[in-house]
């Protein structure tokens, strides 16, 4: 393949021609039969970097390549589906795992901002597959990447400090592009900044040369005279030591929490709290409450500041046969968003009958339900354990399943840093 340009923020797809056979076509070769290595040669600012064998490099940690003047380019070969991808990164890579695009800036020592670029949304609800079209005649196709690195010129100070002192500091500013996601013309800029601090000594002491941490970054408006709700997100940092001398930092942008509908019915989810986003249909009422129409498996991303988010829910549709159900009997329910507390047990509530007569019948006849029971659980492990608790062991037995424990809170500090805080709306026996 001839030399080609791969622009920043792009993913290029190409193919290696198979080795020639005895006829006109090529032949496939696997394992020990491979005689020709898949070699890739890169030219970066006049320096040549060679990846000798793509197959051998697959799955290995990143490799550093010096470009002079304390500048380093990192390469890593990974498998994404059936595609072998060669990642080219600098010391700092940013990955967006939210529904919202973000503008990213580097802030220097003089508090001056330098634009890095736009980090596109990356979420399971969005398309993350390779191009479905057939590549062009020269075997090359490309698409926009959903992650990117801080350009080498903006890392000059970080690289010099790392080389001379074994420490580096970088300040980033994040600007959520809310108006672009909501397709609104009234754009109010919110921004928040945070520091990345890496230490060679600490990385050498860490197990496997890997340090993970997280922090909350709050974006605020700097316009005077306008009251705009702050926007809080979770930033997860992963620092890896490469070849015992360099550091690769992955910055993941994530929501504070995710709320997912696991009820096999479309549900109306309502909250009075600001800064929540979803791909589902949304409407706002006069008292600033927001209502989402969540299909099964649909989700809401929470960027609400504060220790908790209040919510309630009800079925979206009126049944053709049967009784209509209203909003949760418990009223507003608070879901904790801080690490000091978590839901140890599910929140149990009822969706009462909207018809007053049916409600009175349920109250007088104890054998008859007064509504439908719903649960809110935190984390997929709690969801699975609740299913084990509520599933009847003997279908022939008339005994009711054991009751679910009352609502309790406990510390969430033992939760893995990589896991986004998740709440599930669910029912029994589903």
Q: Report the predicted TM-score, pTM, of the whole model to 2 decimal places.
A: 0.81
Determine the pLDDT at residue 262.
92
Determine the pLDDT at residue 249.
93
Torsion of CA 62, 65, 66, 67, to 10 degrees: -120
Determine the pLDDT at residue 219.
94
In this structure, are residues 372 and 352 in contact, taking their beta carbons and an 8 Å threshold? no
Question: How far apart are the C-alpha atoms of 85 and 104, rounded to whole Å?
Answer: 24
Determine the pLDDT at residue 15.
73
What φ, ψ does residue 19 adopt, rounded to 5°? -60, 150
As a residue count, the chain comes to 430
Paired tokens of 282 = 């949304």
In this structure, are residues 259 and 283 in contact, taking their beta carbons and an 8 Å threshold? no
Rounded alpha-carbon distances, angstroms, from residue 90 to 65, 147, 194, 241 = 10, 12, 19, 13
pLDDT in tens, the chain (430 residues): 567 777 776 777 777 776 666 666 666 666 555 566 778 888 887 788 888 888 788 888 888 888 887 788 888 888 877 778 888 888 899 999 999 999 999 998 888 999 988 888 864 333 444 443 444 445 555 666 666 888 888 988 898 899 899 999 999 999 999 988 887 766 678 999 999 999 999 999 999 999 999 999 999 987 766 678 899 999 999 999 998 888 999 999 999 999 999 999 999 999 999 999 999 999 887 668 999 999 999 999 999 999 999 999 999 988 887 788 889 988 899 999 988 877 778 888 888 887 665 555 555 555 445 778 889 999 877 767 666 555 444 445 455 545 555 455 454 445 566 678 999 999 875 4
What φ, ψ does residue 386 adopt, rounded to 5°? -65, -35
- Tell me 361's DSSP state: H
């Amino acid at each position: 393949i001839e030399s080609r340009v791969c622009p920043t923020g792009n993913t290029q797809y190409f193919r290696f021609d198979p080795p020639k056979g005895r006829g006109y076509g090529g032949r496939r070769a696997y394992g020990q039969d491979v005689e020709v290595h898949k070699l890739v040669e890169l030219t970066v600012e006049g320096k040549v970097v060679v990846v000798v064998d793509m197959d051998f490099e697959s799955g290995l940690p990143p490799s550093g390549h010096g470009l002079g003047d304390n500048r380093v380019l990192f390469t890593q070969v990974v498998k994404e589906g059936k595609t072998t991808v060669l990642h080219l990164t600098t010391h700092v890579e940013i990955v967006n795992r939210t529904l919202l695009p973000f503008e990213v800036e580097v802030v220097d020592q003089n508090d001056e901002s330098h634009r890095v670029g736009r980090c596109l949304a990356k979420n399971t609800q969005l398309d993350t597959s390779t191009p479905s079209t057939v590549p062009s005649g020269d075997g090359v196709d490309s698409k926009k990447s959903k992650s990117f690195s801080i350009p080498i010129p903006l890392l000059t100070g970080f690289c010099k400090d790392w080389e001379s002192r074994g420490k580096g500091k970088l300040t980033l500013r994040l600007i959520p592009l809310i108006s672009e996601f909501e397709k609104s013309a009234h754009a109010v800029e919110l921004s928040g900044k945070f520091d990345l601090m890496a230490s060679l000594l600490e990385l050498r002491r860490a197990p496997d040369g890997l340090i993970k941490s997280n922090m909350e970054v709050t974006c605020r408006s700097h316009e005077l005279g306008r009251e705009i709700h702050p926007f809080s997100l979770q930033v997860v940092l992963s620092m890896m030591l490469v070849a015992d001398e360099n550091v690769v930092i992955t910055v993941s942008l994530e929501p504070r929490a995710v709320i997912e509908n696991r009820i096999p019915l479309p549900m109306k989810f309502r909250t009075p709290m600001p800064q929540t986003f979803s791909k589902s249909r949304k409407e706002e009422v006069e008292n600033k409450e927001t209502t989402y129409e969540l299909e099964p498996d649909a989700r809401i991303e929470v960027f609400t500041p504060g220790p908790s988010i209040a919510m309630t829910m009800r079925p979206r549709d009126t049944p053709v046969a049967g009784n209509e159900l209203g909003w949760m009997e418990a009223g507003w329910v608070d879901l904790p968003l801080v690490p000091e507390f978590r839901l140890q047990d599910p929140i149990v509530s009822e969706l009462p009958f909207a018809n007053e007569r049916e409600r009175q019948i349920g109250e007088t006849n104890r054998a008859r339900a007064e509504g439908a029971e719903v649960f809110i659980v935190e984390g997929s492990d709690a969801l699975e354990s609740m299913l084990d608790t509520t599933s009847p062991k003997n279908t022939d037995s008339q005994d009711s399943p054991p009751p679910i424990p009352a609502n309790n809170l406990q510390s969430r500090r033992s939760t893995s840093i990589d896991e986004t805080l998740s709440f599930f709306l669910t029912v029994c026996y589903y």
